[in-house]
Amino acid sequence: MDQSLKSPGQNALEDAFHRLFELTRTTPAPGLAERLDRLARLRAAVSDNEARFEQAISADFGHRCLIETTIAETMMLLGEIKHAAKNLKTWMAPKRVATSLQFFPAKNRLMPQPLGVVGIIAPWNYPLQLTLAPAIGAIAAGNRVMIKPSELVPRFSALLQEIIAARFSADEMIVTGIEDDISKAFASLPFDHLIFTGSTRVGRLVAEAAGRNLTPVTLELGGKSPVIVDRSADLGEAAERIAYAKLLNAGQTCIAPDYVLVQEASVQDFADRLQANMQRMFGTDPANKDYTSIVSDRHYARLEGLVADAAAKGARIMQGAKPDDPAWKSKRKFPPTIVVGATSGMAIMQEEIFGPLLPVMGYRDAGEPVAYINRHDRPLALYWFGKDEAARDEVLDRTVSGGVTVNDCLFHFAQMYQPMGGVGASGTGAYHGEWGFNTLSKLKPVFYRSPFNRLADLYPPYGSKIARLQKMLRFLS
């Protein structure tokens, strides 16, 4: 684009990026001590400002349960930073790799190196955790970082920009503004790696923009994460755990249960238990501080539309209150909603819900849930409840998803020794712990030739020696 046609914000963004880019090409990679120092400063930035982050996020949502921010964001981040700092020396060390016999006694090593500049496009639903968790891996791998927060959480974004600027130099990590011109230009910068968390629709646009620069991307997307309640499951236990997972952050979670498949004869029993647990946990008062608001009026209206469409097409709606009740709507708190008898023709089954609505569908044959899931895009998460290990393993073998939790929901995300990532329409690539370090490193293969190896026999003139060498190579192959 002609420089004269760019906004001041775009020019400033590009200038900041190019400074970071040049530094990655002209200065040595940061060593262990420098990376540990950056992680320590990030930890202090989070822990010292915990209350400020909680208040800013709650103000952006209208109301955000403070305990949810502590558990799902602050504590997870602090745990990830501690894990990275504890293991970083091991991660950074060159890895021994086996060497083929014909090259013995030469040796192979994998040498982790920083990629350069990592861009992070963050979502609004868990703005602190999903903004800084990728940054942990980027810092650990020795990269410089640029972060673009979500425009839907302006108070949090301004606070993060202030706090990071106070703890990090502009040569290490930058938080950009959230203006439209910056948002549109960010993904088009020639990052060495770009991480995006958000919807599948926007993820396609980000991947398209990044592809023009051949920028590798990690896409953490959403989709419809199913729950299978096997006939061997304890319905009461399953209903309690699914209710909690669905209503955490008012359902505004990318790995929240998106629909439940229950044996047909148990659908009503399960729905009743589910509703009872939802009301026990969060009550029926919209002033309940444990229950989080929907982030915007537009998102609230979208949820109303999903419920209205399902009802018009024959679903039975179970709600403790009506979403158009002024007591709920004025606080943007959407009543927990169970949609019994949802079908594929309903909008609620065609898009990610991202709210406190949960369709419950019945199945007759044990193979139906797998067949239904496999007819649709591969989900970011899959949940299975039951005691029949053979049935469980059948589902695990025959479905492909980003991750799985058995007999609960959500908790595979919190495992620092496991990767977190989607597949197909639910994302590509993975991070968390060492997986994030490796994703954001170049694992450079290095071959060290030994002076005792007879590789010179490959050189011409070939003569009779090449016949002996060929014979040996064929034997070893």
N-to-C CA span, the chain: 53
**Of these residues, 54, 73, 220, 352, which one is catalytic?**
220
Judge whether 65 counts as a catalytic residue.
no
**Of these residues, 50, 254, 352, 434, which one is catalytic?**
254
Element (H, E) at 117: strand 117-121
Cα(470)–Cα(272) distance, integer angstroms: 74
Q: Which two tokens stand for residue 301?
A: 């209206």
Nearest to 192 by CA among 113, 124, 136, 92: 113
CA atoms within 13 A on the CB side of 62: 21
Tokens 């020795």 belong to 142
Say if CB 343 and CB 314 are below 8 A apart.
yes
Q: Strands (DSSP E) along 47-158, which ranges?
A: 95-97, 107-114, 117-121, 144-148
Contacts of 182 (CB under 8 A, 6+ apart): 9, 10, 13, 148, 176
Give the ranges where 128-258 is alpha helix by DSSP (H). Answer: 129-140, 154-167, 180-186, 200-211, 235-247
Cα(187)–Cα(90) distance, integer angstroms: 32
Residue type (1 letter), 85: A
- Phi, psi values for residue 113, rounded to 5°: -135, 150
447: helix, coil or strand? strand
Residues labelled catalytic: 220, 254
